[in-house]
Amino acid sequence: MKYYLKIILLLITLITYGCVNLTPKKTKEENQQEFDTYVIKNVNVIPMTENNNEVIKSATVVIQNQKIISINDTLPKDSKVIDGTGKWLIPGLIDMHVHSITDINFKENKPTEGANYFLNTQDVMVPFIANGVTTIFDLDSRIEHFAQRNEIIEGKVIGPRMALAPLIDGGDGGKNVNTPEQGRQAVRIAKANGYNFIKVYSFLNVETFKAIVDEAEKQGLKVVGHIPDVFKGNLEEVFVPNFGLVAHAEEYSKHSKDFTVEDAEYFAQLAKKNNTWLTSSLTTMIWIGKQLRSVDSVRNSETLKYVYPLISNRWVNSNFYYKQTSPEFITRVDNLINFQEKLIKAFNEAKVPIVAGTDAGIPGIVPGFSLQDELELLAAYGMTNEQVLASATRLPAKWLGIDHKVGTIEVGKYADLLLLDENPLENIKNTRKIRGVFVNGTWLDKKKIETMLSDLAKWNTSMKDNDRYQWENRRNY
């Protein structure tokens, strides 16, 4: 009898232990005790709210449990004080067009084998957060991007919020779709896989494109992307409900023969009528134009050292754009670049919402740093500094549907914030003068940011001549 009693007690112990360990671990957002309370004193707040963006001067901002809990109100005890005297606080920046690198397999796919290159997610995210980019929109996402996002959410990595969109294209290839039903099924699969957005691409046919956009609307997914080439000469037809965001300014440029102001204004009216917003991605064409002339533009870039060595080697030694160069191509790209200014002015005057994006991750375009370049281009093309800031804060948060969380500085919103030494409303280049960044309530001061960048650059530089990180050897390891 005693023997059986011992067995029963042992089983109860094992079951109880198992139940205890089945309790799901808390995410960093749920485990609020991990976060310090911060008070930013005497700071000039640029709230970026839609109806009243008046600067709140010499304000006191309290951050607790990742969120802004008060502005010019009661101060909590046991808080960490940040001196904001003479400084400026803006919402964290949002890049609406990136291609974040992930673990990848360049070898033949075999059972039980995975990637042959594994990336440190923190290293991938450092250039973003070092430049105040606290949200990114990845526009060619894979399952690995969900893993990156989970690392950030769990608190294993300090990184930006990640919105993800898979790419759906037509033409040859096992993943591509060429009939309306194939397109609808691709959207349904994306929804089942956890995506909230769909990116459409250049080689879709008319019927499949329209089916994708329609099915996405039925599934509650927003659509962003290219204007498929098939609509050339019939641009009006692409503007269907739920085609909510064009991913590049040059997508319109391809539909202009003479690159006139009248064409730009016409495109703006088409977009406005359909409520189709524009992602600028101006720096994309600038960098393509440079690389068509010389790879030295990339090789001598001051920010190349922050790029994973395998990728930077590809940019320099197997440059996709330089391989295609010709006088005719250079002239064509120069025309597209010049037309971008007309497009931005026309869309801005027509009050079509413009959001800042960069295509970060393609050759030459370094994450984080490229968004700073993009903001300066938008200002150079006629947008006011306040409009430029809105394009990288409030407006993208609104389009992504996260404006209840981020995008403005208001009580109750998450602390995605950028502390600057000088006023960006006076000069947009002041967004580069970063004193510190709050990333989802985690404070990184200038010294910490510089250390993170330095460590990243040292590792990348130390590996750049290693055979493993030569692009031509990518299938050998």
User: How far out from the chain centre does Cα 22 lie?
Assistant: 35
pLDDT averaged over every residue in the chain: 93
Residue with tokens 């909230």: 196
Give the model confidence (pLDDT) of 300-352 as tens digits.
Answer: 999 999 999 999 999 999 999 999 999 999 999 999 999 999 999 999 999 99
Give the model confidence (pLDDT) of 243-268 as tens digits.
Answer: 999 999 999 999 999 999 999 999 99
Q: With bands split at pLDDT 50, 70 and 90, how would you rate the model's confidence at 126?
A: very high
Q: Give the least confident one: 27-36, 67-76, 365-374, 378-387.
A: 27-36
Residue closest to 160 by CA, chosen among 310, 371, 349, 343: 371
Residue 400 has pLDDT above 90, yes or no: yes
Report the pLDDT averaged over residues 13-35: 44
Residue with tokens 């413009």: 354
pLDDT of residue 3: 41
Q: Where are the alpha helices (DSSP H) in 318-384?
A: 320-323, 327-349, 369-380
pLDDT of residue 53: 87
User: How far out from the chain centre does Cα 377 lie?
Assistant: 18
Give the model confidence (pLDDT) of 175-204 as tens digits.
Answer: 999 999 999 999 999 999 999 999 999 999
pTM of the model: 0.93
Q: Give percent of the chain above pLDDT 70.
A: 93
Q: Would you state the structure tokens that stand for residue 312, as one six-digit string? A: 């930077």
Q: Which CA distances in Å does 83 have to 93, 199, 269? A: 22, 43, 47
Residue 386 has pLDDT above 80, yes or no: yes
